[in-house]
Amino acid sequence: MKRLYFVILLILIGVSVCNAQPAGYYDSAEGKVGEELRAALHNIIKGHNSVSYSALWTHFINTDAKPDGTVWDMYSDVPGGTPPYVFNFGNDQCGNYSGEGDCYNREHIWALSWSDDDGVLRTDLFHLVPTDGYVNNRRSNYPFGEVDSPSWTSRNGSKVGDCSVSGYNDKVFEPIDEYKGDIARSLFYVSTRYYGEDAQWSSSGMTNKSVIKAWAVDMLLEWHRDDPVSEKEIQRNEEVYAIQHNRNPFIDNPDFAEMIWSSTWNTEELYNDVTVEVWPNPTNSMLNIKGDNIVKINVFNTLGVMMASFDVKGECYNTINVSSYDNSLLFLQVVGENGNYVTKTVMVAK
């Protein structure tokens, strides 16, 4: 999947949102970037309602059930295909296991050994998910990474092996592509929720207390872009919010990750061969698009669904009528001749 680099026009639209968080929930973060934004988001989501470790089994029924009622296990699921096995809530809890498919347990995406084992993080549902017990054990407390030559591969394609990402070469665990964004946004959440609350935390190959190391940030941003927020995550965010009374900002607004950690989030032109002007913004009807070397314009809603596509090769000036769209926020992907593109954020005034 191509990457969508969201360009945030803060002066025009403030902070964009894509989920149904309470009105004003992120107001205190508006206009901030970098560490200032991370601190502001921390203050918004800190102090959540902490649940007991034993209660996680029950909460998983609400947060991690597939449409058919079985466990949504990212370490065994095969999106679009048939998983090698499925787990039923309650009956298939671990227990003992000797191989894949025996039972599911409670996986800490941010490994507890990287933190304070007895702290609030131990039961924070935004990084706790039900997963195959055996695969969870094989993951151990390894950092997440990418593996070219795995020493072990699960039945759904998750891998263990030496990291192939520049900056780290020790053992890592690589989930399948379809869930890499989920993992990245969980790690971004932990790094932000526990910002400044990590005095007793340990470190790991990808973390230094609550700080994600540079090599891992670069990789996780790639995962975040390549595997956008899914309906699964949106619904899970709402379920966890009902339990903990806080939210994952990086699900509500994926741009927050770019605004904190990316060096290019506020760049108007990410590629030299695609130069684009968009006006007026906001608009309630006609949107003007001007640029060189443009061959296509794609329109996406905030869930990443393409609403329209226009072939415009050879034209340097184009007009699109956006009045028929129900969305108040659109992402305009402007594609250049060699396939590179920039993305513009457009506010639709109603």
How much of the chain exceeds pLDDT 90, in percent?
A: 64
Q: Give the other-Cβ count within 10 Å of 152's Cβ.
A: 13
d(CA 205, CA 336): 38
d(CA 233, CA 129): 12
Domain ranges of the chain: 36-261, 275-347
If you average pLDDT over residues 249-257, what whole number do you get?
A: 93
User: What is the dihedral angle through the alpha carbons of 68, 74, 76, 77, rounded to the nearest 10 degrees?
Assistant: 50
Helix axes 214-226, 180-193, angle to 10 degrees: 130
pLDDT at 340: 63
Task: Please answer whether residues 274 and 284 qualify as being in contact, where contact means their C-beta atoms are separated by less than 8 angstroms.
Answer: no
Containing 217, the helix (H) or strand (E) segment is helix 214-226
Whether this prediction's pTM lies above 0.95 is answered by no
If you average pLDDT over residues 307-329, what whole number do you get?
A: 77
pLDDT at 310: 85
Check whether domain 275-347 has CATH 2.60.40.3080, yes or no: yes
d(CA 130, CA 132): 7
DSSP string, 119-161: SGGGG-TTSEEEEEHHHHHHHTTPPB--BSS-SEE-TTS-EEE
The residue assigned the tokens 């991370």 is 38
If you average pLDDT over residues 180-202, what whole number do you get?
A: 97
d(CA 30, CA 36): 11
If you average pLDDT over residues 69-81, what whole number do you get?
A: 98
Task: Please answer whether residues 278 and 289 qualify as being in contact, where contact means their C-beta atoms are separated by less than 8 angstroms.
Answer: yes
pLDDT at 29: 93
pLDDT at 19: 52
Average pLDDT, the chain: 87
d(CA 238, CA 74): 19
pLDDT top residue among 320 and 241: 241
If you average pLDDT over residues 167-190, what whole number do you get?
A: 98
pLDDT at 276: 77
